[in-house]
Amino acid sequence: MKDSVKYARWIKAEAKRLGFASCGISEATFLEDEAPRLEAYLHKQYHGKMAYMENHFDKRLDPRKLVDGAKSVISLSFNYYHPKKQSSPDAPKISMYAYGEDYHHVVKEKLWALYAFIDERMGPIQGRVFVDSGPVLERAWAARSGLGWIGKNGLLIQPQQGSFFFLAQLIIDLDLETDKAIKDYCGNCRRCIDACPTQAIVKPHVLKADQCISYFTIELKDSLPQDMKGKFDNWMFGCDVCQSVCPWNRFSLANQVPAFQPSEELLQMNRKDWIELTREGFNNLFPKSAVKRTRYEGLKRNIQFLTSEENSPETDP
């Protein structure tokens, strides 16, 4: 058996042991098909004020510019789905991925463990790890590696597993057997497009990020636009609408990672609790959470935006 085949099997077995839901491998090469799409996306300024997306254009398209001598891109997915939901129907909502600890740290720790395994068994190697960080087109690589296909909402969908997954990449200078991309199984379905509260999915596979609730509630640091009043579907951090309506997510299974389990305190909070949230309460509720990205002031801004209409003089009885 060729080393590239044997090594790929070892890596996939270890990835599974570490808790990754899937693992696929691509040749580290220039993403020719994605180049014009990315250029057009940035030209139309669909990325809004996320200026970092304009940086390192060449590196986003060629992993060999991130790792000298790179030969393989290992793509992995990590399940974060949880069946428990916030109990109060009128409480401002948090995207499921932020229920537990910050995934950047949890997943990256496991990714470094996989890197160490490869270096010890097949190395020495040179490489880098990426978990939703750095100039890496993670969904493009995951699709190219056969993990799934990119759905009409722009997210990676995995057959028989859905889309509630974190993605990660390991770029290394080791030759490995590669996997083939799989077919797009979205068909004529457009539930995600029709369900988007702000019509951010302007056409299949194209998300106008600066129209997305997740962009407004997490990325945008300015005041929220008044013309979006009443369109946030009560989301105060992120949004799961396009995933919740996706038929493929009926296959989602609860993750078993302790760090990703939501606290009962968070799930039981009602609308009044969120409106009255203090800085101390915020720090106690989100000690290691991705919600800290928006900070206390940002979350309070979002909550006030959702609730200000009911408290305005015009709507008082």
Check if the beta carbon of residue 119 is closer than 8 Å to that of residue 14: no
Quick check: is 179 catalytic?
A: no
**Amino acid (one-letter) located at 314:** E
Q: How far apart are CA 57 and CA 31, in angstroms?
A: 11
Instruction: Write out the two tokens for 140.
Output: 């493009």
Q: How many residues does the chain have?
A: 317
Bridge-based pairing state of the strands 93-94 and 235-237: parallel
Q: Do 159 and 150 meet the contact criterion of CB atoms below 8 Å apart? A: no
How far is Cα 270 from Cα 86, in angstroms, rounded to an integer? 9
68 vs 63: CA distance, rounded Å: 9
Catalytic residue among 62, 119, 132, 179: 132
Query: How many H helices and E strands in the chain?
Result: 12, 10
Question: Of 271, 295, 272, whose CA–CA distance to 282 is shortest?
Answer: 295
d(CA 175, CA 183): 25
Closest CA to 24 of 168, 179, 162: 179
Q: Are 186 and 23 in contact (CB under 8 A)?
A: no
**Which residues are designated catalytic?**
132
